[in-house]
DNA sequence: AGAAATGGTTTCGACTCGCTACTATACAAG
DNA sequence: CTTGTATAGTAGCGAGTCGAAACCATTTCT
């Protein structure tokens, strides 16, 4: 019997712990909790559909109530800005403020980690990435977890021309950089559409 | 330029978040926080040198003050037992109680995850494991993080005979199963011993 | 228009977590 | 044997997390 899967999980857990500890360290100057740092990082990577409290909450795995609190704090600290959605006046949209961008730029939470992979060949990294990606998507399929992916492998993604893209679900044109951001509405290509209209 | 390292980190972070969320879910029946579950899991895997509040705190990345609190709670709930060390009466040793063992057995925090790797070939998993292991050890080397490994690759490990082992640092005989547990005193084979005696 | 759903905020209570004492034991030097 | 000094752990404080439930405001369904 092979114990590798267990070892893999242990490693991921351990690395995750250390990343969390790193986030704690990075945030301690500014009196920020790990979750706050994660939230800032998320906002820097979220596309236009996904910059809401709700999406953030799902991504980092907290309830919307807690998310609301954390966002309040980040707002007080001037690291994020909130603005109303034009179409739906219930939804609040979020973006990093100048200070928020600066904070991420100064601290580069991911730099130390990127550095830690320097001895590993690009090829091995790509292999690891694909294995982890598959693990993630299997787990999500099992648990109906919210997907959170980017356009590349999304069912709703449409390529209009050489460099014109479109989200079939929302109907918007998308810029090339935007297609690489994190999206909440992501649906893995190939999964059944199910019930649309009656 | 290759973005794979960043993607790898993102995946690890995401998986780590989900594991944490899973720990939260598992613990919610018993009113346990994720950290509590992690602590129980750690104790189930720690060897005889590593079942102390101190080691636990370092492993999960909290301070000893916080660890003390959490252990108090786990003790009140009857999930762990504390006992004195014979040699050094300052140190408190920890072990899972019957109820604690049962809790882990009932909930199997890792089962869902093990399941999530079912579609990945053992070979790819092993490759991913080795890449992550290397990332971890590079990161630890950079940051002087506490090591936490098992005997297999530890500097102090000695093989007396076919199935008799010994820890050179502590001088104890070790059983075969014990050599696979997590140890706090772990030192990667090959790193300089430095200053021992004068 | 009324009912149900949805996105966010608020409040509450138990707990985390870093920090700063503080206690008790161990160990080293005089 | 006493007097440090280091080490393992605990206790208390204050800000914040977090889930749960109640609550608004707005949208959507009928």
Three-state SS letters, A72-110: HHHHHCCCEEEEECCCCCCCEEEEECHHHHHHHHHHCCC
Which positions ≥6 away from A27 have C-beta within 8 Å?
A33, A34, A36, A37
Instruction: Say which residue the tokens 């009196």 belong to.
Output: A31
Does B116 sit within 8 Å of A131, measured CB to CB? no
Average pLDDT over residues A105-119: 83
- Which tens digits make up the pLDDT trace of B16-73? 888 888 888 888 878 888 889 999 999 999 999 999 999 999 888 888 888 999 999 9
Average pLDDT, chain A: 85
Distance CA A133, CA A130 (A): 5
Could you tell me which of A117, A43, A119, A104 has the C-alpha nearest to residue B6? A117
Segment among A153-157, B71-75, B77-81, B156-160 with least mean pLDDT: A153-157
Does A110 sit within 8 Å of B9, measured CB to CB? yes
Distance CA B100, CA B108 (A): 12
A81 or A10: whose pLDDT is higher? Answer: A81
Window 137-196 of B, Cβ < 8 Å to A: 138-139, 142-143, 145, 148
A145 or B54: whose pLDDT is higher? Answer: B54
DSSP category for residue A38: H
Q: How confident is the model at residue B158 (pLDDT cuts 50, 70, 90)?
A: very high
- Which tens digits make up the pLDDT trace of A44-79? 999 999 999 999 998 888 889 999 999 999 999 999
Residue B108 reports pLDDT greater than 90 = no
Smallest CA–C1' separation from B33: which nucleotide? C15
Q: How buried is A113 (Cβ within 10 angstroms: 0-12 exposed, 13-18 middle, 19+ buried)? A: buried
Q: What does the pLDDT read at residue A198? A: 31
Could you tell me which of B190, B183, B178 has the C-alpha nearest to residue B149? B183
Nearest protein residue by Cα to C1' of nucleotide D16: A33
**A112 touches B at CB < 8 Å:** yes
Residue A93 reports pLDDT greater than 90 = yes
Smallest CA–C1' separation from B74: which nucleotide? C15
Residue A94 reports pLDDT greater than 70 = yes
Number of H helices, E strands in chain A: 7, 5
Dihedral of the CA atoms A177, A180, A185, A191 (nearest 10)? Answer: 130
Which positions ≥6 away from A2 have C-beta within 8 Å?
B122, B125
**A3 touches B at CB < 8 Å:** no
**Joined tokens for residue B107:** 């909930």
- Which tens digits make up the pLDDT trace of B112-135? 788 888 888 888 999 999 999 888
Window 19-58 of B, Cβ < 8 Å to A: 19-21, 24, 38
Residue A137 reports pLDDT greater than 60 = yes
Distance CA B124, CA B89 (A): 47
Q: How confident is the model at residue B144 (pLDDT cuts 50, 70, 90)?
A: low
B188 or B72: whose pLDDT is higher? Answer: B72
Q: How confident is the model at residue A192 (pLDDT cuts 50, 70, 90)?
A: very low
Segment among A109-123, A136-150, B73-87 with least mean pLDDT: A136-150
**A111 touches B at CB < 8 Å:** no
Does A16 sit within 8 Å of B12, measured CB to CB? yes
Q: How confident is the model at residue B2 (pLDDT cuts 50, 70, 90)?
A: low
Spanning CA of B89 to C1' of C30, the rounded length in angstroms is: 26
What chain A residue is nearest to B132 in terms of C-alpha separation? Answer: A11
B102 or A61: whose pLDDT is higher? Answer: B102
Mutate to test the interface with A, among B128, B140, B149 (most CBs of A within 10 A): B128
Q: Collapsing DSSP states into helix, strand and coil, what is residue B95?
A: strand
Average pLDDT, chain B: 85
Q: What does the pLDDT read at residue B177? A: 92
Q: Following DSSP, what letter does each residue of B33-60 receive, concatenated?
A: -HHHHHHHHHHHHB-TTS-SHHHHHHHH
Nearest protein residue by Cα to C1' of nucleotide D15: A31
| pTM confidence score | 0.84
Residue A97 reports pLDDT greater than 80 = yes
Chain A residues lying within 8 Å of B40, measured CB to CB: none
């Amino acid at each position: 019997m092979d114990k590798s899967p267990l070892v893999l999980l242990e490693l991921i857990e351990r690395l995750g712990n250390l990343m969390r500890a790193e986030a704690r360290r990075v945030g301690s100057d500014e009196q920020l909790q790990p979750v706050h740092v994660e939230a800032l990082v998320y906002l820097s990577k979220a596309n236009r559909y996904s910059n809401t409290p709700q999406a953030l909450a799902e991504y980092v795995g907290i309830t919307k109530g807690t998310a609301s609190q954390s966002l309040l704090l980040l707002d007080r600290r001037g690291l994020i800005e909130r603005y109303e959605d034009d179409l739906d006046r219930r939804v609040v949209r979020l973006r990093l403020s100048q200070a928020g961008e600066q904070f991420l730029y100064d601290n580069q939470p991911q730099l130390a980690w990127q550095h830690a992979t320097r001895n590993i060949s690009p090829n091995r990294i790509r292999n690891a990435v694909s294995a982890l990606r598959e693990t993630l998507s299997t787990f999500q399929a099992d648990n109906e977890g919210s997907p959170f992916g980017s356009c590349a492998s999304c069912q709703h993604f449409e390529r209009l021309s050489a460099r014109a893209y479109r989200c079939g679900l929302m109907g918007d044109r998308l810029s090339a950089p935007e297609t690489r951001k994190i999206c909440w509405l992501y649906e893995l290509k190939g999964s059944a559409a199910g019930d649309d209209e009656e």
